[in-house]
Amino acid sequence: MLLGAHMSISGGIFMSLERGKSIGCQTIQIFTKNATQWKVKPLTEKDIADYQEHQRETGIRPVVVHDSYLINLASPVHEPHEKSIEAFFIEMERAEQLGIPYLIFHPGGHLGSGEEEGVKRIADSINRVYKRAGGFSLKLLLETTAGQGTNLGYSFEQLAGIIDLVHKKESMGVCYDTCHTFAAGYDIRDKSSYNKTFEEFDRVIGLERLKVFHINDSKKGLGSRIDRHEHIGKGMLGIDAFRLLLNDKRFKDIPMILETPKGKEMKEDIMNLKILQGLIR
């Protein structure tokens, strides 16, 4: 299994690789910029060279990117929507420059304009950025969401609906967040619910589109539609769900990345990784 965690880029993007290596990550997720700010300085040649050198040295692969939290491709309001598209393109460009294969993003919130309208606006936005991103080899991964507020992406049908409207379908994939999907109402706590959920994923979206797992326990219950991450085995999902996932041979080459709560040090990541390692038979 390919296990890792979200890593800070404080001190330079390449530092995320050193941090990941220091706690035994085989894969990591990063932001390539401050996730709570719009503005960003372009990457320099040195940023890119440092990153690539450290990636070679650490052997961490793949590295995946998560986009900024400010971006909302479903926004019905003209100005923030345009701003989101511009910022999203920059996210794509930065990931591509670094040679990163996947950009993970939350589909977006329709803010009262309706779900169907929101799904269309997300797909239109993706079509626009891909038009501009001609030769990019980057894939875009829609993240499954808890469906908090007006956020879309809480049902497999909605994600499939977005992909269906995107022209460059071969570049679309899905990131399955175990906390979000459980909060959205998909159970995986025992063998039979686990099988049912992934059968449904396969039927509606296709397992071949599943490229990354975010591996988080959930503070809130099944169908709560509330997004609160918890340490592995300490939440409402519970340890058995993770045991099933970590021993599922279909997913042995799919990065599984922790986004569990943590402080400045990485003690919590070390603890969660150790728990996950211990589940593998």
Contacting positions for Mn ion (CB under 5 A): 143, 177, 214, 259
- Least separation in angstroms between residue 229's CB and Zn ion is 6
User: Residue with CB nearest Mn ion?
Assistant: 214
- Least separation in angstroms between residue 152's CB and Zn ion is 14
**Residue (259 or 268) nearer to Mn ion, CB:** 259
Q: Which residue, 173, 169, 170, is CA-closest to 142?
A: 173
Q: Which does 227 bind (CB under 5 to 8 A by kind): Mn ion, Zn ion, none?
A: Zn ion
Q: Tell whether residue 269 is a contact of Zn ion (CB under 5 A).
A: no
Q: Which residue, 153, 241, 242, is CA-closest to 205?
A: 153
**Within 10 Å of residue 278's Cβ, how many Cβ atoms?**
10
Q: Which does 86 bind (CB under 5 to 8 A by kind): Zn ion, Mn ion, none?
A: none
- Least separation in angstroms between residue 148's CB and Mn ion is 12
Sign of CA dihedral 71, 75, 77, 82: positive
Which structure tokens are listed for 67?
A: 């986009």
**Residue (51 or 242) nearer to Zn ion, CB:** 242
Sign of CA dihedral 222, 2, 99, 210: negative
**Residue (104 or 244) nearer to Zn ion, CB:** 104
- Least separation in angstroms between residue 84's CB and Mn ion is 15
- Least separation in angstroms between residue 146's CB and Zn ion is 7
- CA separation for the pair 122, 74 (Å, rounded): 5
Q: Tell whether residue 217 is a contact of Zn ion (CB under 5 A).
A: no
Cα dist. 81→31, 72, 108, 171, 262 in Å?
Answer: 21, 7, 10, 22, 32
Cα dist. 92→64, 100, 101, 126, 160 in Å?
Answer: 12, 9, 10, 11, 21
Q: What torsion do the CA atoms of 231, 27, 142, 103 make, to the nearest 10 degrees?
A: 130
Q: Which does 214 bind (CB under 5 to 8 A by kind): Zn ion, Mn ion, none?
A: Mn ion
CB 207 within 8 A of CB 156: no
Among 91, 143, 217, 227, binds Zn ion (CB under 5 A): 227
- CA separation for the pair 118, 5 (Å, rounded): 30
Q: Which stretch binds Zn ion (CB under 5 A): 5-13, 37-45, 187-195, 219-227?
A: 219-227
Q: Tell whether residue 67 is a contact of Zn ion (CB under 5 A).
A: no
Site string for Zn ion, 3-32 (x = CB under 5 A): ------------------------------
Q: Which does 67 bind (CB under 5 to 8 A by kind): Mn ion, Zn ion, none?
A: none
Binding interface with Zn ion (CB under 5 A): 227
